[in-house]
Amino acid sequence: MNLEDLRHELRIVSDIARYGVHQKVADRCEINREYLWQIRKGKNVFVDSVENRKLLQKIINTYRSIDREYLRDLEEYEKQNLSL
């Protein structure tokens, strides 16, 4: 994928993120939240390089990972509370 395709995918996964997730993503990717915001909005990371594509892919994967964790935790919570 090229940089713009990755940025488009990033916009999709980040736009549906819950409150507080952006800070978690920034922390896990070891970047500043403001820098993450700039990347998401297309105001930073313009050069289509291997390094930049890897960064965007890492950010996308982190959003997805946090979403999977949330869904897993929600399912576990439901199992515990519905079995009472």
List, for residues 15-40, the tens digit of each pLDDT value: 998 888 999 999 999 999 999 999 99
Top-confidence residue, 83 or 42:
42
Burial 8-36 (b: 16+ CB within 10 A, else e): ebbeebbeebeeebbebbbeebebeeeeb
Architecture of the structural domain at 3-82: Orthogonal Bundle (1.10)
- For 34-81, write each residue's pLDDT tens digit: 999 999 998 999 999 999 999 999 999 999 999 999 989 889 989 888
Structure tokens at 12: 């999709």
Task: Quote the CA–CA distance of 2 and 79 in Å, as a whole number.
Answer: 41
pTM for the predicted model, two decimal places: 0.87
Backbone φ and ψ of 4, nearest 5°: -70, -35
